[in-house]
Structure 1
Amino acid sequence: MPRTPLAFLSPADQERLRALRRMKAIAVGALVFMAVVFVIAFWLQQRQPWLGYVRAAAEGGMVGGLADWFAVTALFRRPLGLPIPHTAIIPNRKDEIGRTLGEFVETNFLAAEVVRTKLTQTAIAQRAGEWLRQPSHAERVAAEGSTIAIAVLNALSDDDVRDLITDLAREHLVDPEWGPPAGAWLEKIVEADAHHGAVDLAADSISTWLDTNGEAFAGLISRRLPSWVPKLAHRFVDETVYHEAVKFVHAVQADPQHPARLAIDGYLGRLADNLQNDPATRAKLENAKASLFDSPRVGALATEAWNTAKAGLLKSLADPASGLRARAAQAVQEVGERLTTDAALQKRVDTWVSDAAVFLVDRYRHDIASIITDTVERWDPAETTEKIELMVGRDLQYIRLNGTVVGALAGLAIFTIAHAVIPGV
C-alpha cells in the first residue's frame, strides 16, 4: 500500500488510493474464500466424494491467487519482506525504468514524422481561428496578454531602458554621419522642387502675421533713430518699413520666380552640395548633433518620455474598458476571422507550425525526453513505487482476482481429467 498519508495526496490520487484498497480487499477476500472452501471440502470429502472436485477447484484457486499475489507484489516490494531474487523490481530498477521510458517516448512520440503526420491531420489554423473569433475568447487573450505586458513593464528597470534607448540612439543616430545622407536627401528635394510648398507655407504664414500684427512695427526701427529726429519722422519710418515688408511678402507669394525664391533655391542647392562634399559644413553639423544629443536636457526629456509612456501603457493595460484593450481584442477577433476564412493563410500557418514543431523535435527531442529520465532519477525509490502503484495497482489487483478464478477452473479441469483418464483415481 502507498505510505503517503491520504491528506497529502491530490484529489485524483486519493480516489485512486481508495480504488486500489477496494480491489486489494476483493482480491484478498477471494483468496480467503478459496482457503475456507478448501478446508471445508478437504475435511468432508471422505464423506461426500463429490467434494473432491470442490477441493481441487479451491486448491487451484489458492495456488493461482498466491502465485499472482507474489508476481504483483514482487513488482513493488519484497513479498513478506524476504530477500527473494528478482523482487522489488520497480524500486531496484527505478533509474533504468526512467531511462527506458524516456527512450521510448523519444523514439515513438518525438519522431519528426510522427509529429508532422499528427499536425498535418489537425486543422490547427482553422481551429485556432474559430476559437479566437469568439468575442469572449478574444477578450480573454487580450486580458492575458495585458497581464503579461504589465508584468514585463513592471519588471523592466527604468535605468536599463534608458541606457538601452541611449545606446540605440547613439548606435543608429549619433555615431553615423548625417552630412552626406542629409545632403543627398536635400538635393533630391531641391531637384524635385518639393521645397516650394514649404516656401509657400512660410510666405503665407508671414503674410498672415503681418496683416494682423502691424502694431508690432511701431518703434521697431524708429527707436534706433537719434532723439533729435521729429516724432512724425519716427512714425513715417515705421510705417514705411511695415508696408515694404508687406509688399515684399506679397510679391514673393505672387511670383514663382521672385529673386527671394531663387535665392532660397540657390542656398538649398549649395547647402546640399556642402553637406555632401564640404568637410567644414559636415563638421559643423556633426558638432551640432553631438551637442544636441549630449545635452542633459535631451536625456531628461527622453527619461520623462519613457516614464510617461510607461505610466500610460500600464494604465491602459490594466483597464478592461480602455481603448487599447478594446482594440487588442478587436485585432484578435480579426485574426481569428481571417484564420477561419482564408484558406491560403490557413495553409501558411499550418505549414509554419508543422515546420517549427518538427524543427524543435529534431533539435531538442533528447532534451525533452531527458526530463522524464531526470525526474524519475530524482524520485525516491519508495516514492516511485507509490506513484506507479497508485496509477496501475488497481488494474493489477484484477490479475490477482483473475488468477484466483482461473486457478480454480484449472484445478477443477485437471482433477476432472485425471479422474476420467487415469484408472483407479
Structure 2
Amino acid sequence: MAPEQTADTEAAQREREKQAALTRAKRMATLLLLTSITVMVIAKALEHRHPAFGFIAAFAEAATIGGLADWYAVVALFRHPMGLPIPHTAIIQKNQSRIADSLGKFVETNFLAPGPVGAKLREVDFASMIAAWLADPAKSASLSRFVVNLLPQAVAGMDQSRMKEFLAERLTDQLSALKLGPLGAKLLGAITEDRRHQRLLDEVIDAVERILADQATIDGIRDKIRQELPTLFNLFKADAYLLGRILKSTGSFLDEVRTDPDHALRLEFDRFVENFIVSLRESPDYEARAEKLKQDILGRQEVRDLAQTLWRNLVDYVERDASSPDSRIEAQVTLILSHVGEKLATDPRLKAEMNDGFVVTLSTLVEQQKSGASRFIADQVKAWNMQQLIRLIELNVGRDLQYIRLNGTLIGGLAGLVLHTIEVLIRAS
C-alpha cells in the first residue's frame, strides 16, 4: 500500500475512534440526565412517605436542572437547541466571520511576533543542516548539475535581453571613472617597495652590454668616430684606440653600477622613479594626459569589438561545457560546494554568522508577510463549510464537553442536596 493510502487509512481510523468515544460520552451524559429526571419524579411522588425521599428528590431535581442547563449550553455552542431559533444560540455558525478574523489576528499577534519567531528560528542549526547536505557527494553533484544546466539559459537570456548592453555600459562607466594616474602611482609604489625597481635598471645594464658587444654596433660606433676625427688621426688608427677606451670605460662603469647597490646612478634612478610616482599622483598635466589616453582607448572600435568577441566566446564556452559529460564548470562548482560544506562544518564562527543571517532574514520575511498570513487564515476560515467545521470541533473537543454535562449533573445534584439539608436544619431549629 502506498504511503498516502496508509496515512489516509490511519486518519480515517482515528476519526472513527473519536466518533465512537463522542457517541459513548453523549449516551452517558444523556442517560445520567434521564436517570436524574426519573429519580426526581419517583422521589417527588414518595416524598410524603419518608423525609429521606425529600433529600433524594432535592438531589435529583438539582441534578436535572444542572444537566439541562449544561446540555443547553453545549448544544447552543454549535446549533439551535431542538431546532428553535433561540437568541444567542448556534454561536459558532453566527460568528464565523468574526471568529475567522480573531483567529487570524491571534496567530499574527501571538505566533508570528518577532520574539517567538526569532526564538524558534534560533533553535534551528541551519548551517549544520547545509553542511551535512553539501557533505553528501551525490547531493553536491546533483546541485552542481542543476546549476550548470541553468547556465546556458541564463547566459542566453542575458544575450537576448539588454542585460549584456547594461553590463557593458556599467563596465564602461566604471572604467571612465577610473583615475589612471593615481592607479599607476599606486602600482609603481608597490613595485618600488624594497627597491625592486632596481631590477629594471639591471636589465637595462645587461641590454646595453649586449648591444656594445655586438659587432655591428661596434662597427657603427667606429664609423662615427672616424667621421668626426681629422684624416691625419685616422692614419694612425686613433679611431680604434678611442673605440677601445670608450668600450672599456663603459664596461667598467656598468660593472660598478651592477655591483654597487648605492651607486650614484642607482640613487639617481631611485629619485627619478619617486618623482615620477609623485607626478602621476599629483600632477594635473599627467592626469590630463592619462585621461585623454583612457578615453581614446575606450572610444576605439577595436575595444568594442574585443568586448563582443570575449562575450561571444564566453557564451560558446558555457554552452559547450554545460553539454559535456565531463563539464569543467560542474566539477569546479562541485568542488566549491564541498569546500563550503567542509568550511561550515569546521568553522564555528562561520556557522554562527550564517545562522544569525538566516534568523535575521527569515524573521524579517515573517514580519513583512505576517499580516498577509493573518488575512489568509481568516479567508480560509470564512470559506470553510460550517457543518464540517462543527463536526471537526465536536470530534476533537465534544467528548470533553459531554463530560461537562456529566459534571454539571452531578455537581448540580450535590448543590441541591446541600441546599435542601440547610433548609431542613433551618426548619428544625
Q: 1:46 to 1:355 in 2, by over 3 A?
A: same
Q: 1:143 to 1:378 in 2, by over 3 A?
A: farther
Give the CA deviation at 1:94.
Answer: 1.1
Do the aligned residues in 2 keep the contact of 1:58 with 1:408 (CA within 8 Å)? yes
**Considering only aligned residues, what root-mean-square deviation do their CA atoms show, in Å?**
5.4
The residue type paired with residue 332 of structure 1 is G
Do the aligned residues in 2 keep the contact of 1:177 with 1:286 (CA within 8 Å)? no
Out of 401, 418, 421, which is 2:423 matched to? 418
Question: Secondary structure of the equivalent of 1:85?
Answer: coil
**1:375 matched residue in structure 2:** 380
| CA displacement, residues 311-344 of structure 1 (integer Å, 9 cap, x when unaligned) | 57998999xxx785576355335324433xx4x9
Give the CA deviation at 1:179.
Answer: 11
Q: 1:294 to 1:11 in 2, by over 3 A?
A: same
Is 1:143 matched with 2:139? Answer: yes
Which stretches in structure 1 are left out of the alignment for 5+ residues?
1-6, 204-253, 258-271
Query: Counterparts of 2:104 and 2:301 in 1: how far apart (Å)?
Result: 64
TM-score by length of 2: 0.58
Give the CA deviation at 1:391.
Answer: 4.0
**1:293 matched residue in structure 2:** 307
* Higher helix content, 1 or 2: 2
Is 1:77 matched with 2:79? Answer: yes
**2:31 matched residue in structure 1:** 32
Q: 1:101 to 1:53 in 2, by over 3 A?
A: same
Give the CA deviation at 1:8.
Answer: 11
Give the CA deviation at 1:85.
Answer: 0.6
Q: 1:337 to 1:53 in 2, by over 3 A?
A: farther
Which stretches in structure 2 are left out of the alignment for 5+ residues?
1-5, 207-253, 259-285
Q: 1:60 to 1:337 in 2, by over 3 A?
A: farther
Equivalent residues in 2 for 1:87-236 (5 A)?
87-112=89-114, 114-115=115-116, 119=119, 124=122, 128=125, 131-132=128-129, 139=135, 143=139, 150=146, 154=150, 159-162=156-159, 163=161, 166-173=164-171, 192=191
Do the aligned residues in 1 keep the contact of 2:132 with 2:341 (CA within 8 Å)? no
The residue type paired with residue 23 of structure 1 is L
Percent identical residues = 24
Q: Which piece of structure 1 moves more, 397-406 or 351-360?
A: 351-360
Query: Counterparts of 1:316 and 1:402 in 2: how far apart (Å)?
Result: 76
Query: Counterparts of 1:362 and 1:179 in 2: how far apart (Å)?
Result: 40
Give the CA deviation at 1:92.
Answer: 0.9
| CA displacement, residues 150-192 of structure 1 (integer Å, 9 cap, x when unaligned) | 3895595553143476235423345665797678767876784
Do the aligned residues in 2 keep the contact of 1:74 with 1:89 (CA within 8 Å)? yes
Question: Secondary structure of the equivalent of 2:87?
Answer: coil
The residue type paired with residue 380 of structure 1 is N
Query: Counterparts of 1:100 and 1:83 in 2: how far apart (Å)?
Result: 25
Do the aligned residues in 2 keep the contact of 1:179 with 1:276 (CA within 8 Å)? no
Equivalent residues in 2 for 1:207-286 (5 A)?
276=290, 278=292, 282=296, 286=300
TM-score by length of 1: 0.58
Q: 1:412 to 1:139 in 2, by over 3 A?
A: farther
Q: 1:299 to 1:416 in 2, by over 3 A?
A: same
**2:68 matched residue in structure 1:** 66
Q: 1:288 to 1:315 in 2, by over 3 A?
A: closer
Q: 1:338 to 1:190 in 2, by over 3 A?
A: closer
Is 1:335 matched with 2:344? Answer: yes
Query: Counterparts of 1:393 and 1:315 in 2: how far apart (Å)?
Result: 63
The residue type paired with residue 27 of structure 2 is V
**1:408 matched residue in structure 2:** 413
